Structure 1
């Protein structure tokens, strides 16, 4: 379901020899260790594969002739002294990438820009980048400063006093008494975690302290206000309500960032659907219902976080502004302002990073409107990227295999089927320079079945694949004819090739444009016996 956070990714472990992957750094370290220590009684088995990546550039020669898909071509004559190849390393495959520059191109389009360029007729106001980028703090007590530890201790004491005097459970006149069991036990919970119980409680208290710059009394007041709001909003009952799934495409969880935070995507372009927009914002009642659904979604995600330090207790937010309704939509502005205030007041420090992608020029004016309602700490978590830099910006924080296909990655929706690859299969990123041909060489040292998938974000390049045997006089097999790929083409291509003789597979991407392109690929090896 879209409103469920997927299971956390498995802990990174060294792959067994049969997996076919061992880093070059690990191999070098192993060699050094072997030199410094006496040899073991029995030699360790050789790894199934070694992956090395090298990039070289040279002037391009004449353009290669196009070949039909599946055709065979006679290889060039081989010099006599090269007929006997050197003995292969103890590996199944080796990977090399080669970049051949066709011509030198200097273009402003190749320069990375975090915020989209504003055309001359548009306002030239830029989003301020003076705020220092946010770095998430540790929740381990040993990592806190002396003043922070003292503030935490003082807040514990104040919370205990408030519990003893039942300050959190005081009812207004005429209000129906709730949470009687909690009051009798002298225990109050937020997000399913008691305020004073174990290490998880300290993580909760630290969130409020950081939201108030470690001012203890202000933090206690924020806790009281949050508990009061949660009772008024009926959070505990709301979590179990069935509010439908009509907004599942507007907000959904998918994958994890490079630091293990669950990633939440907010897709504002879905509100171009007039019917969906009306259901969410047509009047006050509908706005309140949408806000309830959004709060429920957030609550469910938070309750799946690991609050035991040093576990992950925050989310990574991606806000997609592509085709988002413009600033003229008054109802959306009001709902956004209301949601921002509510989340900032009652959900402190639950966002590790806020990345805005596909940012249009008009958002600069909208950001100026909401800017006064944001704390400096909140603004320090913001990252903005225009349409041309959105995928590249996401890859800085999220691995391509974890990024959904529609945002430039390789991850398909959990409801879809990809029998060959999953988010646990890492991908490799390569920047293809303007007017450059990039070749990925997968050198095969054993007979096997090789499966790969590849994409270039935004395409506008030519892609081809071929197998070049090692044997003298053997023919090159054209697996995929070099074909120009348009942005509207299928975003990811995949192939499976049965390698029944030693050689290498060449995956070639020719970028004739004046823009840098991001190439992403990954592959798997299967034995004939599998």
Structure 2
């Protein structure tokens, strides 16, 4: 557990500090860079990132190694350190106010180096790329719009002839041909069949028949228990506003749960009904109005997933794939597989023939070491659950300060680099923060430095080496009684890049 913040009253030293001599030209700190005229500076806060070189500090003396909690700011300066290989220190500065806002201003040199890194970084393995199309009729091409009109005419004929079972038919709670939402539904079938009208109509008829035979409407009212609530669950939204669904197959390592779910054909059918029920309830919450969000971002976690040798799971997976692809067209905007083991690509090759090329183009695969990085490309850290490298937890009394509405900042810490986050405080308040480094293996400390040079620096969190087994998120707070700044220091001594995620707010 992270140490509780230590708050100490700030007193001036007993003896007056002699006035400092006027600074020389070399000591004058240049003003911060101005934002371009085309970018309006946030009124209450700003965030800047500045990289500079500084020599390594000398080895600590015995006095410096003592566990001090307050350091006097006016103490004599130590002798200059001996020459040593330089290390990089990155400093990010933010202003705390209410409400909070942040803007990032990076030097041109930093931007160029970051761009070079992104180009050299291999992307996660993917079998294609997919960009979700608009569901507005006005955005369709002439040929697509023509197909939609022809499809609607055929659907109207089928309804009039009661070929769907009655003259009024609804699907996913949307009555066909009653309003604009029906166009969004029909576009899903058209896109699933490459705008081939007759094939789209055949798919729609098959789907309506399957829904009736499967008893989907009655299924919504059934109570199938909550044994699988940790296997499949909705949590947060991606950067474009799509709800995110997590599928955690590692839960099936529990032999009792596995046997209860896949032990025989009856249990597999019950699992299938539960999965369809979960999907149907999730779909009913989507927005089928033109321009609305009516697709889901899927994340499949394969860590500790049972291998392809599990025959029962393989059968259930195949059954689910066939049903979902044939009867739920265009409901997945992206399918990201994380913590992918070596054997899964072989398993995927076996399942490939059951998937359309359009479906496969939405897939992204990534191994365990790249999981947080890949998720952060699509989902902001405050929306990602803590078990996947983010900051999002269910609201509870143990962590009432932050919610998914509080934005987080993400910084990459280079190897052998110290990152300092400066939070400038311009009012008396209580400031709280939380941060994490995925996988830790870094040192972390926090201190408060008042603006008054006669004041004292308060050590809020002593320097602590964070291990991979430590708590994933460190929380901190400080009661500010005079203006100053909070310094959050993360030292990365490893040869690997580390990803720092943090956020703060005024209570």
TM-score scaled by length of structure 1 = 0.79
Post-superposition CA distance 1:442-468 (Å, at most 9, x none): 122222211111111111111110111
Residues 111 and 77 from structure 1, CA distance in 2 versus in 1: closer, same or farther, beyond 3 angstroms?
A: farther
Aligned partner of 2:21 in structure 1 is none
Question: In the alignment, is the contact (CA less than 8 A) between 1:466 and 1:478 conserved in 2?
Answer: yes
Post-superposition CA distance 1:9-67 (Å, at most 9, x none): xxxxxxxxxxxxxxx97997558xxxxxxxxxxxxxx94x2122223132442168566
Residues 97 and 494 from structure 1, CA distance in 2 versus in 1: closer, same or farther, beyond 3 angstroms?
A: farther
- The partner residue of 1:52 within 34, 47, 60 is 47
Structure 1 regions of 5+ residues with no counterpart? 1-23, 32-45, 80-88, 102-107, 116-126, 170-182
Q: Is 2:296 aligned against 1:304?
A: no
Separation (CA, whole Å) in 2 of partners of 1:265 and 1:336: 16
Aligned partner of 1:138 in structure 2 is 134
CA displacement at 1:512 relative to structure 2:
1.0
Post-superposition CA distance 1:210-257 (Å, at most 9, x none): 000000000000000000000110000001100000000000001111
CA displacement at 1:281 relative to structure 2:
1.0
Q: Is 2:392 aligned against 1:397?
A: no
Post-superposition CA distance 1:288-335 (Å, at most 9, x none): 110000000000000010000111000010000011011211111111
After superposition, residues 26-425 of structure 1 pair within 5 angstroms as 29=39, 47=43, 49-62=44-57, 65=60, 71-75=69-73, 112-114=121-123, 129=126, 131=128, 133-169=129-165, 183=166, 186-414=167-395, 418-425=399-406
After superposition, residues 422-461 of structure 1 pair within 5 angstroms as 422-461=403-442
CA displacement at 1:524 relative to structure 2:
0.7
Structure 2 regions of 5+ residues with no counterpart? 1-33, 78-94, 111-116
CA displacement at 1:507 relative to structure 2:
0.3
SS in structure 1 opposite 2:469?
coil
Separation (CA, whole Å) in 1 of partners of 2:261 and 2:370: 30
Question: In the alignment, is the contact (CA less than 8 A) between 1:464 and 1:507 conserved in 2?
Answer: yes
Question: In the alignment, is the contact (CA less than 8 A) between 1:442 and 1:504 conserved in 2?
Answer: yes
SS in structure 1 opposite 2:271?
helix
CA displacement at 1:473 relative to structure 2:
3.3
Aligned partner of 1:12 in structure 2 is none
Separation (CA, whole Å) in 2 of partners of 1:58 and 1:98: 16
Question: In the alignment, is the contact (CA less than 8 A) between 2:73 and 2:454 conserved in 1?
Answer: yes
CA displacement at 1:91 relative to structure 2:
6.7
SS in structure 1 opposite 2:224?
coil
Separation (CA, whole Å) in 2 of partners of 1:195 and 1:98: 52
Separation (CA, whole Å) in 2 of partners of 1:300 and 1:479: 47
Aligned partner of 1:503 in structure 2 is 484
CA displacement at 1:155 relative to structure 2:
0.2
Post-superposition CA distance 1:338-363 (Å, at most 9, x none): 11111000000000000000111111
Q: Is 2:461 aligned against 1:480?
A: yes
Separation (CA, whole Å) in 1 of partners of 2:487 and 2:59: 14
Post-superposition CA distance 1:141-191 (Å, at most 9, x none): 11110011000000000000111111111xxxxxxxxxxxxx2xx111100
Separation (CA, whole Å) in 1 of partners of 2:498 and 2:341: 21
Of residues 509-518 and 149-158 in structure 1, the stretch that sits farther from structure 2 once superposed is: 509-518
Residues 486 and 447 from structure 1, CA distance in 2 versus in 1: closer, same or farther, beyond 3 angstroms?
A: same
Separation (CA, whole Å) in 1 of partners of 2:459 and 2:122: 38
Separation (CA, whole Å) in 2 of partners of 1:356 and 1:191: 27
Question: In the alignment, is the contact (CA less than 8 A) between 2:395 and 2:403 conserved in 1?
Answer: no
Question: In the alignment, is the contact (CA less than 8 A) between 2:261 and 2:271 conserved in 1?
Answer: yes
Question: In the alignment, is the contact (CA less than 8 A) between 2:308 and 2:314 conserved in 1?
Answer: yes
CA displacement at 1:90 relative to structure 2:
12
Separation (CA, whole Å) in 2 of partners of 1:397 and 1:375: 23
Aligned partner of 1:177 in structure 2 is none
Residues 112 and 482 from structure 1, CA distance in 2 versus in 1: closer, same or farther, beyond 3 angstroms?
A: farther
Separation (CA, whole Å) in 1 of partners of 2:66 and 2:38: 42
Aligned-pair RMSD on alpha carbons?
A: 2.8
Post-superposition CA distance 1:415-458 (Å, at most 9, x none): 67531111101000001111111000112222221111111111
Residues 382 and 27 from structure 1, CA distance in 2 versus in 1: closer, same or farther, beyond 3 angstroms?
A: same
Separation (CA, whole Å) in 2 of partners of 1:282 and 1:76: 72
Separation (CA, whole Å) in 1 of partners of 2:433 and 2:408: 10
CA displacement at 1:504 relative to structure 2:
1.3
Aligned partner of 1:524 in structure 2 is 505
Post-superposition CA distance 1:79-108 (Å, at most 9, x none): 9xxxxxxxxx99789989999x9xxxxxx9
SS in structure 1 opposite 2:260?
helix
Question: In the alignment, is the contact (CA less than 8 A) between 2:35 and 2:105 conserved in 1?
Answer: no
Question: In the alignment, is the contact (CA less than 8 A) between 1:440 and 1:508 conserved in 2?
Answer: yes
Question: In the alignment, is the contact (CA less than 8 A) between 1:255 and 1:402 conserved in 2?
Answer: yes
Separation (CA, whole Å) in 2 of partners of 1:90 and 1:505: 10
Question: In the alignment, is the contact (CA less than 8 A) between 1:55 and 1:98 conserved in 2?
Answer: yes
